Amino acid sequence: MTPEYLKEWRNKNGLTQSALAEKLNVAGMTVSRWETGLRAIPPFLSLALQAIECETKTRKED
C-alpha cells in the first residue's frame, strides 16, 4: 500500500485523518505520517481498511 492510496481510500470513505486514527486506535499523527511517507505503512493496514469498509456497509444496510 502506498501513502497516496491510503489518502485516496480515506477520502473516498469520507474519513478525516483523526477519524481513521480513532477507528484504528492509533494517534492521529500516525495516519498523517503514513500518508506523507514519513512512516512505513504496516502490513496489517490493508486488512484493517477492509474491515472498516465492511463495518460501514453493514451500518448503511441497517
Q: Which three cell numbers stand for residue 3?
A: 501513502
- Tell me the CATH number at 48: 1.10.260.40
**Do the Cβ atoms of 50 and 60 come closer than 8 Å?**
no
What is the distance, to the nearest Å, from the Cα of residue 41 to the centroid of all Cα atoms in its chain?
Answer: 10
Phi/psi at 58 (5° precision): -65, -40
Alpha helix positions (H), the chain: 3-12, 17-24, 28-36, 45-61
Q: What is the pLDDT of residue 58?
A: 74
The whole model's pTM is what? 0.85
Residue 27, domain extent? 3-61
- What is the tens place of the pLDDT at every residue in 2-57? 999 999 999 999 999 999 999 999 999 999 999 999 999 999 999 999 999 998 77
